[in-house]
Amino acid sequence: MAESGPNATIIVTIITVIGSVAVAVISNWDKIFPKPQVSPPPVMAVAPEPTANASPPPSGKIQVAPPVPIIDISGTWYNPAAPANGSRIVQQNSGFQFSSWGMLPQGIGYESKGSGTVIAQNISYNYVAQYQNGWTSQGNCSGTVSSDGSQISATCSDNVLGTFVSAGIKQ
């Protein structure tokens, strides 16, 4: 037999409210009871273990590689492809300054001044050139120096002349 009346309505309302609360709690369980965040353990640097067959340096001192000697490029230079073209280089440690003179293949004379560095057998330098026809250019070069400091070969980039190769032999 089914009951009707105010008691049945109250029971249905209570069941509906309990069901709604249960659904809300279940669907939001992770927000109500969040999982604790586990942070990873801190990273610690560990010194490598010495190898079993490694021997300590003599007298227990750390050995340091000797410094690379600076190649001396001071002096007067000429271009073997254009013997009328020359340079005078003054060097102090790995830095240097120079002045150059000569003739372009078109017969235009020039003078230039610049500075650069020599590190091991690598050379790099910048310059500004003034030409007899009124032109002015600037450029930069990088290349190599022979181990005895008697030859230089560099590729240059100039804002007027473009890219060219420069070579020099010390007199």
CATH 1.10.1740.110 fits 75-170, yes or no: no
C-alpha to C-alpha distance for 36 and 103, rounded to whole angstroms: 80
The strand pairing partners of 77, in sequence order, are 87, 170
CA distances for 113 relative to 42, 98, 142, angstroms: 58, 6, 16
Q: What pLDDT is recorded for position 107?
A: 92
Q: What pLDDT is recorded for position 15?
A: 78
Q: What pLDDT is recorded for position 94?
A: 95
- φ, ψ for residue 102 (rounded to 5)? 160, -160
Domain boundaries, the chain: 1-34, 75-170
pLDDT digit string (tens) for the chain, length 171 residues: 455 677 777 777 777 767 666 666 677 766 676 766 655 556 555 555 555 565 655 666 777 877 778 999 999 999 988 889 999 999 999 999 999 999 998 999 999 999 999 999 999 999 999 999 999 999 999 999 999 999 999 999 999 999 999 999 999
